[in-house]
Amino acid sequence: MSFLSESEQPSRIETFLYDADGNRTEEESIAVRGEVVELDADGRVIARHEHLDWKVDPVSLEGDAGELATRPKHEPN
C-alpha cells in the first residue's frame, strides 16, 4: 500500500463567492466579490490566488448620472 506525501495530496481550485454584506454565498447572481483558493483533500484552504480575485464595480450595479446620457438612443423610424 502506498501513501501520498503531503505535497502529493490532490488539491482543487475553487472560487468562494461573497454577497454585498460580505457573507459567503453559492448564489452567483448576488455575488459581488470572489476569491480564488486552492483546497487540500480535506477542504482546507492551502493557497489563495489573489491575482485572480475579482470584485464587481459598484457603478455597474447602481449606474451613475452620466450613464443615461451615453446610452445609444433607438428612435422609431
Alpha-carbon distances, residue 19 vs 23, 52, 62, 72 (angstroms): 6, 18, 15, 31
Q: 44-71 pLDDT, tens per residue?
A: 999 999 999 999 987 776 666 555 555 5
Q: 31-41 pLDDT, tens per residue?
A: 999 999 999 99
Model-wide pTM > 0.85:
no
Is the separation of the CB atoms in 15 and 40 below 8 Å? no
How many C-beta atoms surround the C-beta of residue 48 within 10 A?
13
Alpha helices of 2-71 — where are they, by DSSP H? Answer: 58-62, 65-70
- Mean pLDDT taken over the chain: 81
How many C-beta atoms surround the C-beta of residue 38 within 10 A?
14
